Chain A
């Protein structure tokens, strides 16, 4: 028995087609960022020796960044990882549940191996935000602008070399002197060996 497949190609080598690549609102707009980035992602999407990993910073234990303070964190990753997409969101100070205009945070990412920054200086968080800002933007049942990606992909995945670390800095630059409640979400692809690829060891015994 065969499984019908019209592509007549080896699917392991064929580009991925799905709702993200075929979304009708994107196809006519091939000059725009999102469809171009999705095409650039294609090879990474099919990389079966990499696995997705996303970091959400600051951690849950750090509910806010105090006025004029800077949060710093070193992320440890396996060498050979790739940073592929970013999203920044700011939340209301009172509950931490409602997304607000992202105008208080400044971000700087530095690759640990070379010390090279991803940007020449601190960048406003709004540069990595997805509009419109809404608590229900992507939840089914409430409309959003169809075809918007939930993350901002980089133009090229950024390789992370040995020793596999990245320094993340988020500065509170709110002019009203209030706490900054935010999340910076970094999407990586990290190398992995799946459990079915481990060598089979002989059973123990005499």
Chain B
């Protein structure tokens, strides 16, 4: 029997240098799981200079290019890709890495209207899939149960991505906990809405404004770096985003721990972020 843990590997492009060059971009696969099964890739367009004809190639764990001819031309370049079949990268016994190549770099960013400030980079590629643990049985609740919808809301005031007044130094991530009370709880998805200073009274979908890093009830991170809102938000109009998938279970009286990183600029604060963690309680029956 094996067990899957949903996981997103993040290729953080914020430290790359813009310009025409051939960059080999590598994300190491953790050696805690036996294999990583890659099912979705999204965000290449946030690093690639598509207007200049940049090309992108993804390689499997043996170094075989998955795209012929260095990818294809820009309109499809930034596409959200469904990996069919899923690409397997080995972990524990023979650690591998997810390698890709981009010919022209232009990092997507959010710029402060302040002289001398540094921008918030929102340039990441997300490799979503599952970590598979062989010979690890899945968690079983110790009683007969029925699923009952139970969503956990969370609201917080947000802050700018860099520290005032110069907006050069990054504001560190802030950690939060929400309790999982009463019964075991299956975590199915996330919706995010934001009310920022530029949106008046509206609560709208944040896009490239917030990053999340989520932990399971054992304290294992479900992504190696924080992930942008559009790639997690199940109500996103921008991508087929659902996380976690497959769903995971938080044991009764545990906590859902997560970290928030802001990519808001100074004109967007004060702002309020609402996160709803959707799921089902396992109610005894």
Contact = CB atoms under 8 A, between A and B. Distances in A.
B74 A97 contact: yes
Interface in A155-206: 183, 185, 187, 189, 192, 194-196
B241 interface: yes
B19 to A, nearest CB: 18
A99 interface: yes
Given A5-B3, A51-B85, A56-B68, A23 B240 contact: yes
Contacts of B248: 3-6
A140 B247 contact: no
A144 interface: yes
Contacts of A19: 40, 128, 234, 239-243, 245
Interface residues of B, number: 82
A85 B39 contact: no
Nearest to B65: A53
Nearest to B230: A140
Interface stretch (A7-15, A64-72, A104-112, A116-124): A7-15
B75 A99 contact: yes
A141 interface: yes
Given A141-B108, A146-B237, A194-B90, A5 B66 contact: no
Contacts of B82: 20, 149-151
A11 B70 CA distance: 33
A11 B85 contact: no
Given A89-B76, A141-B108, A3 B139 contact: yes
Interface string A130-162: 000111111111111011011100000000000
A135 B80 contact: no
B53 interface: yes
B197 interface: no
Contacts of B138: 2-9, 11
Contacts of A134: 75
B45 A150 contact: no
B76 A150 contact: yes
Given A5-B248, A7-B246, A146-B236, A139 B50 contact: yes
A135 B69 contact: no
Contacts of B228: 140
A17 B87 contact: no
Interface string B176-192: 00000000001001000
B108 A11 contact: no
Contact of A44 (B64, B70, B85, B137): B85
B73 A96 contact: yes
> Chain B interface mostly helix, strand, loop or mixed?
loop
A194 B61 contact: yes
Contacts of A141: 46, 108, 207-208, 230, 238
Nearest to A189: B85
B200 interface: no
Interface string A25-54: 000000000000000010011111011111
B62 A20 contact: no
B84 A52 contact: yes
Contacts of B4: 3, 5, 11
Given A11-B132, A196-B94, A18 B39 contact: yes
A47 B217 CA distance: 31
Contact of A11 (B3, B46, B241, B249): B3
Contacts of B140: 8
B66 to A, nearest CB: 5
B76 A185 contact: yes
Contact of B85 (A47, A55, A99): A47
Contacts of A194: 61-62, 88, 90
Contacts of A3: 3-5, 133, 136, 138-139, 216, 218, 220, 248
Contacts of A133: 75
A16 B39 CA distance: 9
A23 B50 contact: no
Contacts of A146: 236-240
Interface pairs A-B: 4 shortest CB-CB: A4-B249, A5-B138, A139-B78, A56-B72
16 contacts: A3-B4, A5-B5, A6-B247, A11-B130, A11-B246, A22-B234, A44-B85, A54-B67, A91-B73, A140-B208, A142-B238, A146-B236, A146-B238, A150-B81, A185-B76, A194-B88
